[in-house]
Structure 1
């Protein structure tokens, strides 16, 4: 009722194509902050409280709100979140076990369950930040997002101090440019792979350089995650992109994922909307492929052709 609280931090995005990007993600960021700092309505210290805890017996958030230590009074919500986090880890382990025996049904079940638990965990921040929730207070939601902003800004600053460029970040994710040679190939076609397997030396050299660049990015991402992880702010190397593209707008970007899977990453564009029509999504996905391959002339020619077909009623 006092107005919206300040949300997560979104870093300015560098427009253009960026090769070999390591994407780091804070594991369950908001729930981890709530657990690590014991944030709950039952642990918040009211400034007007007649007998406050002694010095050092509370967590102080970046907005100067205070919460009792867990050893003095464990919060109800952190207790629930610990149980949910354990459940999610169990489902994730079950997914890997199902994949190892190629049990698609079990994999789908546990993937759906871990996602459901994830949504449930994140909903606790939502009710803390809502004026309709009976056991809420502005200090709760504001402290969670303040600690989150502090975490992500701290990582960005540390990574940049090491000389690594941060091309983008959003709330709990950070996109870091890997120290891979600029001459390394970013994409390898199926045709080149086939030629390499048939003994073509040039194609084999290209494939070898591509695989070396990918492994270098993976090693870099895993090392960063390990170096900067700490209690209540555990970093994970979520995915590796051989190329990342943005036209400069926040929350709108594409990329080619090459680790741990191979797929196109699309965020914020109309292809993600359920009410988009097939001609639009098909056209945009093809345009994205041209963009990621740095084939600007072909992209423009294809876009003009699709627009002309639409105008001529050929669709």
Structure 2
């Protein structure tokens, strides 16, 4: 049981990774021919051209359309566009897709893992305890820290600025990552999954 938990969520994380790191089938084919110093690094042997951008351009257009729908309070249209943007990862990771390549899907999911792990380290260096995370969210405990719930927005802004600088410094890219403060829970109950699995093994089936 936790007293104060702040939840931070990366806005459309996988589409943001596609836009930031130019994860694209054609950019991959051109990128693997480039010297490592000239390409955008991916995972599982993938690397991407900095010039070619087909998929990222499509996602950019969808992103703009979604922001417009949100401003118009058109929730249905906004959610539809969000689903379309997220579907690009699923397609690239499907063996039935003509553009299927494990280097594409892995460069999205493994980059996502890296982003969450780096964000976790950032919070911990602030003296905050990260108690949980999923695909695109981080749950942060304020217990024992110098922060209060009212500091959530400033933490959001600081982390976004940190990512802007980090992406520029390490990759010479413009960051499209955007983390948002989503919720404050007090109290918050979190049961560890490992304990749940252990309990399930002890259940007698009848």
**Secondary structure at the counterpart of residue 24 of structure 2:** coil
Structure 1 64/222 Cα, relative in aligned 2: closer, same or farther at 3 Å? farther
Mapped to 1, the partners of 2:45 and 2:138 lie a distance apart of: 26
> CA offset at residue 121 of structure 1?
0.6
1:61 pairs with 2:42: yes
Mapped to 2, the partners of 1:61 and 1:232 lie a distance apart of: 16
| Structure 1 segments unaligned to the other structure (5+ residues) | 1-16, 96-109, 182-212, 253-315
Q: Is the CA contact (8 Å cut-off) linking 1:151 and 1:233 kept in structure 2? A: no
The number of residues matched between the two structures is 181
> CA offset at residue 234 of structure 1?
1.3
Q: Is the CA contact (8 Å cut-off) linking 1:20 and 1:180 kept in structure 2? A: no
RMSD across aligned C-alpha pairs, in angstroms?
2.3
Structure 1 44/112 Cα, relative in aligned 2: closer, same or farther at 3 Å? same
Of the three residues 124, 130, 133, the one matched with 2:88 is 124
- Aligned match of 1:156: 120
**Secondary structure at the counterpart of residue 240 of structure 1:** strand
1:19 pairs with 2:13: no
Higher relative contact order (CA 8 A, sep 6+): 2
Mapped to 1, the partners of 2:119 and 2:8 lie a distance apart of: 10
Q: Is the CA contact (8 Å cut-off) linking 1:63 and 1:146 kept in structure 2? A: no
Mapped to 2, the partners of 1:88 and 1:166 lie a distance apart of: 31
1:177 pairs with 2:156: no
Structure 1 164/38 Cα, relative in aligned 2: closer, same or farther at 3 Å? same
1:37 pairs with 2:21: yes
Mapped to 2, the partners of 1:55 and 1:245 lie a distance apart of: 46
Q: Is the CA contact (8 Å cut-off) linking 2:22 and 2:49 kept in structure 1? A: yes
**Secondary structure at the counterpart of residue 186 of structure 2:** strand
TM-score, normalization by structure 2: 0.80
Alignment of 1:109-148 (within 5 A): 110-148=74-112
Q: Is the CA contact (8 Å cut-off) linking 2:25 and 2:99 kept in structure 1? A: yes
Mapped to 1, the partners of 2:112 and 2:70 lie a distance apart of: 24
**Secondary structure at the counterpart of residue 132 of structure 2:** strand
| Structure 2 segments unaligned to the other structure (5+ residues) | 165-174, 197-206
Structure of larger gyration radius: 1
- Aligned match of 1:73: 52
> CA offset at residue 34 of structure 1?
0.4
Structure 1 233/63 Cα, relative in aligned 2: closer, same or farther at 3 Å? farther
Deviations 1:249-287 (A, max 9, x none): 28x9xxxxxxxxxxxxxxxxxxxxxxxxxxxxxxxxxxx
Mapped to 1, the partners of 2:97 and 2:159 lie a distance apart of: 35
1:243 pairs with 2:174: no
- Aligned match of 1:300: none
Q: Is the CA contact (8 Å cut-off) linking 1:25 and 1:174 kept in structure 2? A: yes
Mapped to 1, the partners of 2:144 and 2:117 lie a distance apart of: 24
Mapped to 2, the partners of 1:221 and 1:45 lie a distance apart of: 42
> CA offset at residue 220 of structure 1?
2.0
